[in-house]
Amino acid sequence: MTAYDELMAFERDTQALGQIAGRLGWDQETTMPRGAGEQRSEEMAAISGVIHARRTDGRVGDLLDQIDDSKLHAVGQANMRHIRRAYERTMRIPAKLAAEQAKLHSTAQGVWAEARENEDFSAFSPMLMQVLDMKREEAAALADGGDLYDALLDDYEPNAKASDLEAMFNALRPKLVDLRERVLNAPNQPAALSGTFDEAKQMKLTRHLARTFGYDFAHGRVDKAVHPFSSGSGQDVRITTRTNEADPFNCFYSTIHEVGHGCYEQNIDEAYLLTPLGEGVSMGVHESQSRIYENQIGRGAAFTGWLFGEMKDAFGDVGVADAKAFYGTVNRVNSGYIRTEADEIHYNLHVLMRFDLERAMIAGDLSVSDLQDAWNERFEADFGVAVDKPSNGCLQDVHWSVGLFGYFPTYSLGNVYAGCLNKAMRAALPELDAGLAAGDTSAATGWLRENVQQYGGLLQPRDVIEQACGFAPSEAPLLDYLEAKFGAIYGV
Ligand code: ZN
C-alpha cells in the first residue's frame, strides 16, 4: 500500500464520520423528539471530538510528508490539495481555542435568540464582543501575518480574496440601489398573492417541483424544518422546506433553492464518493447552483408560466388573472428588512452590508458597541427606510453569534456566479425556454450537471465557474439580467 492509498483509506472513514455527524444534525432539525436535546448535544460533541482527533492525527502528518503530489494523477493531486489544506488549517488553531469557541458559540446562540426576542441589542453585545475577540484570535493563527478576514473567508471560499470581492460588490451596490428606486417608484406594481393555501397540498406540489428539477428521491428526501437547509453528500442528500398557509411561494422557492444544493451533491461523479472531492467545492459555487435553480430558472417567465397552471390545478383560483400577471406576482419587489425574505434586487444589498460591517469588525475598525448604529445608518442609505426594531436589524441573522465571519459574502458571490452561468447556459441552449414553459428543466439541469456539478472538488472554485462559462466571472452578467428582467416587469 502506498502512503497515498493509506492516507485515502484513513480519509474515507473520516469522511464517513462527517456524513454521520451531518445526519445527526439533520435529525435534530426534523424528527428528533423534543426532550432529546441534551443527550443530542453530548452525542454531537462526542462525534466532533472523534473527527477532530482524526483530522489532527499524527499519522496524517507523517503520510503527508511521504507523498510527492507531483507524481500523482489529477484526481490524486486534487485530493491532496484538500487534505493538506484542511490539515494545515486545523493544526494552526490551538486545541484550547477551538474548544472554548465551540462552548462560547453554543451559549452565544441562546443569548442572541433571547436578545432578539426582547428586542435588546445591548443584551447580546457583550457576548458578541467575546465571540469577535476569539474569532480575531483564530484569524491571526490562520493568517500567519496575512489578512485576517481573508483567512476566515478561505474556510468557505478557498483562495478568494476580500479585496476582489469588495471590488465586485462595490460595482454592484450603486446599480442595485438605483434599480430598486426605479422599480419601487414605478406606477404599476404587481399584485401580491391572496388567499390561503392548504399546507398538505403545498407539500405535494413541492415534491413535484423537486422531481421536476431532477432531485433524486432514491437518494434523498424532503422534510419540513423551521429553516430550510440541505444536508449530506453522495448517496444520501436530504433537503428540508417549510410551509406557510398564506405564502406558498415561500415553500416552493425554498424547496427549489435547496434542490439546487441537493442536486449539486447528488450529481458529483460517483467515483469521488467519500473522498474530499465528493462534496461541493465551496459555499459560493454551492450557492450559484441553488440560486440559478431558484431564480434564473425557477422565477423566469417560462417556468412560472408552467407553475401558474400547476398552482391552479392544486389550489383552484389563485386570485391572479393570467400567467403574465403571475410572473409579476412571483417577482414582486419590496424593501423588507429581512435578508432571507428579500427579492432578487434587495438580496445582495443585504449581504453587501453584512460583508462591509463584519470586515470592519474583524479589522478592528468597527467596535461591537457601534455596530447597531452602523447597521441602521447603512440600511437606511441602501434601502430607503429606517430600521424599526433590532429583530429587523442587526439581530436578525444567527451567523455572528455562532462565529460565522467570512460566510456572508459567499451568498453574493454565488449570485454573481449564477448570473455568469445563466449567460453561458442560455448561449449554449437557445431553445431552453420552450422546455421550461412545459415544465421540463432537463436541458438546464443537464447543462449544470455537465459543466459544474459533476466535478465536485476536483477544480478550484473560481476555475469551475470560469471553465463552465468560458469567460472570467464578473458582476456584469448578473446586473444585465436583473436590469432586463425587472425593467420589463415594472416598465422602467
Ligand atoms: Zn443556499
Closest Cα partner for 486 from 334, 320, 379, 381?
A: 334
Mark whether 177 and 242 lie in a shared domain.
yes
The domain tally of the chain equals: 2
Q: State which of 146, 177, 208 marks the end of a domain.
A: 146
- Cα of 284 from ligand 1 centre, angstroms: 9
Q: How far is the C-alpha of 207 from the C-alpha of 186, rounded, in Å?
A: 36
Q: How far is the CA of 427 from the centre of ligand 1 (A)?
A: 25
In sequence order, which residues have a C-beta less than 8 Å from that of residue 322 and are 6 or more positions away?
308
Of 146, 179, 199, at which residue does a domain stop? 146
- In a domain, residue 154? The reply is no
Residue 191 located in a structural domain: yes
Q: Is residue 430 a part of any domain in this protein?
A: yes
Q: Which helix (H) or strand (E) holds 302?
A: helix 301-315
Rounded CA separation 144/159 (Å):
15
Please check whether residues 170 and 139 belong to one and the same domain.
no
Whole domain around residue 434: which residue ranges?
162-490
Ligand 1 centroid to 414 CA: how many Å? 9
| Same domain assignment for residues 18 and 60 | yes
C-alpha span between 437 and 441 (Å, rounded) = 9
User: Would you say residue 151 lies in a domain?
Assistant: no
Distance 289 CA to ligand 1 centre (A): 8
Same domain, 376 and 428: yes
Together in a domain, 134 and 190: no
Distance (Å, rounded) from C-alpha 332 to C-alpha 486? 9
Does 152 reside within a domain? no
Residues 440 and 367 in one domain: yes
Looking at residue 440, what is its pLDDT?
98
Hey, which residues does 230 pair with through a beta bridge?
Answer: 239
| Residue 401 DSSP class | G
Are residue 135 and residue 207 in the same domain, yes or no? no
Let me know if 157 is a catalytic residue.
no
Q: Kindly give the pairing relationship between strand 238-241 and strand 230-231.
A: antiparallel
Q: What is the CATH number of the domain that holds 293?
A: 1.10.1370.30
228 and 272 in a single domain? The answer is yes
- Domain identity same for 481 and 392: yes
Catalytic residue among 11, 157, 258, 287: 258
Q: What is the CB-side half-sphere exposure of residue 52 using CA atoms within 13 A?
A: 15
Cα gap 105→116, rounded to integer Å:
16
Residue ranges of the alpha helices (H) in 393-441? 408-428, 432-437
Q: Does a structural domain hold residue 288?
A: yes
Give the Cα separation of 276 and 457 in Å (integer): 7
Residues pairing with 238 in the sheet: 231
- Taking the C-alpha atoms of residue 435 and residue 305, their distance in angstroms, rounded to an integer, is 11
Is 216 found in the same domain as 83? no
pLDDT score of 1: 85
* Domain identity same for 182 and 327: yes
The answer as to whether 157 is a domain residue is: no
Q: Which of 89, 118, 146 is the last residue of a domain?
A: 146
- Taking alpha carbons only, the member of 94, 136, 179 closest to residue 382 is 179
CA of 238 to the centre of ligand 1 (A): 14
Burial environment of residue 188 by CB neighbours within 10 A (0 to 12, 13 to 18, 19 or more): exposed
Per-residue pLDDT of the chain (492 residues; tens, 9 = 90+): 899 999 999 999 999 999 999 999 999 999 999 999 889 989 988 999 999 999 999 999 999 999 999 999 999 999 999 999 999 999 999 989 988 998 899 899 999 999 999 999 999 999 999 999 999 999 999 998 999 999 999 999 999 999 999 999 999 999 999 999 999 999 999 999 989 999 999 999 999 999 999 999 999 999 999 999 999 999 999 999 999 999 999 999 999 999 999 999 999 999 999 999 999 999 999 999 999 999 999 999 999 999 999 999 999 999 999 999 999 999 999 989 999 999 999 999 999 999 999 999 999 999 999 999 999 999 999 999 999 999 999 999 999 999 999 999 999 999 999 999 999 999 999 999 999 999 999 999 999 999 999 999 999 999 999 999 999 999 999 999 999 999 999 999
State the distance from the centre of ligand 1 to the C-alpha of 229, rounded, in angstroms: 7
**Is 414 among the domain residues?**
yes
Q: Do residues 64 and 169 share a domain?
A: no
Report how far ligand 1's centroid is from the alpha carbon of 294 (Å): 10
3-state helix, strand, coil in the chain (%, to 5): 70, 0, 30
Cα of 478 vs centre of ligand 1, distance in Å, is 17
> 223 C-alpha to center of ligand 1: Å?
16
What is the pLDDT at residue 95?
Answer: 87
